[in-house]
Amino acid sequence: MSTRDDLQFLALLVHRGHLARAEAEPLLASLKAGEALDDLLESEVGWEADEVARMRRTRGGEIPEIPGFEVLGKLGTGGTADVFKVRDKRKNRMLALKVLNPTATREAPTRKAFIQEARLLEGFDHPNLVRGFGVAKSGSTLFSRMEVIEGSTLLELIDGGQAFDEDAALRIVLDVAAALRYLAEQGVIHRDIKAGNIMFTPSRQVKLIDLGFAAERDAAASPDDSAVGTVAYLSPEAARGGAGADMRSDIYSLGVTLFQLVVGRLPFESSDDQELLRQHIMESLSSPELKSRGFSPHLHYFIERMMAKDLSHRFQSWEELEREISDQLEGRESLDFRSDSTASRSRRRGGRRG
């Protein structure tokens, strides 16, 4: 193997958290002098030969080796974990394995949140919520088992140029709201609602994923706690930090997602997280696109009420939100003067534009 290949592999081991930079740097001079990386990992780092071989075989753990599972491909990558499509050899069924990366595995809070998410999903059963089948460990690899969801996240679709018309976007919001109402009934608040955590399948099924930030309903938080969730979607109270687990914060985040679905961008944008937090706390919602694209006054109302700065001005429950949106959609259908065949074709297309 060439020195260049060894240098690239050493960088990969550092990137994936198998080696600290301080451990890798002393090997560079020997590598450039022509010594083999595998020999150096054994003699200088203290790895066993079979561990070095496993790292080579799996590209530093990029491809997990877990007994009983055949890895068929990677479905996605997040900040702390990778998701793979696998075949469960024992039960001959397809699953998704969410594998915590080595750096995250060594961080106790992240490891705890990963295990909590897996256990929560294992106990839930709702058509708009990803199913979970437990958490396990193989050697140093921590992973959870989930149902495979074919499709893309809403964020991937938006970034790919797909636009959603008003009715399609509201129906997606209704499905997500149904899943969040179910979670609230189980005493859980999601706390990270965003387009990247909502899957959309080719059959138009909506699935809420990733309960990594979930907390017990009404759980108190210390005033010193930092904001929890994804900055671009945070409610004002969450952006300030120290907010308890309140479903109305999720309603705000879902309002941000609804805005993004119909407009194609986020309501507040900045490359600076602190500036984004300030905008969510201080700035009023303003969008020329909402006014210029012919959206109904009802859509304006839904977005503005979901994203109200004052908690008391938002929808106060998922039931209230679902009822008002459902009534609006049913009213629009009853006023649809197109022929039945035209309306049917539109519904099959899902109301997509572009």
3-class DSSP assignment, residue 27: helix
Report the alpha-carbon distance of residue 74 to residue 84 in Å, rounded. Answer: 4
Q: In 159-195, which positions are buried (b, 16+ CB within 10 angstroms) versus exposed (e)?
A: eeebbbbbbbbbbbbbbbbbbbbbbbeeebbbbbbbb
Tell me, yes or no, if 192 is annotated catalytic: yes
CA dihedral 230, 231, 236, 239 (to 10 degrees): 100
Q: Kindly report each contact of residues 152-155 with a partner whose C-beta sits within 8 Å and lies 24 or more positions away, as own/partner.
A: 152/199, 152/200, 153/195, 153/196, 153/197, 153/198, 153/199, 153/200, 154/195, 154/196, 154/198, 154/199, 154/200, 154/257, 154/260, 154/261, 155/194, 155/195, 155/196
Q: What is residue 151's DSSP assignment?
A: S
143 in Cβ contact with 99 (< 8 Å): yes
Report the alpha-carbon distance of residue 267 to residue 257 in Å, rounded. Answer: 9
> CB neighbours of 334 closer than 8 A, spacing ≥ 6?
none
The neighbour count for residue 234, using CB atoms within 10 Å, is: 28
Residue by residue, what is the 3-state secondary structure of 75-104?
Answer: EEECCCEEEEEEEECCCCEEEEEEEECHHH
CA dihedral 264, 78, 239, 263 (to 10 degrees): 0
18 in Cβ contact with 61 (< 8 Å): yes
Report the alpha-carbon distance of residue 244 to residue 235 in Å, rounded. Answer: 12
Of 189, 195, 199, which is closest to residue 238 (Cα–Cα)? 189
The one catalytic residue in 165, 175, 192, 210 is 192
Instruction: List, by residue number, the catalytic residues.
Output: 192
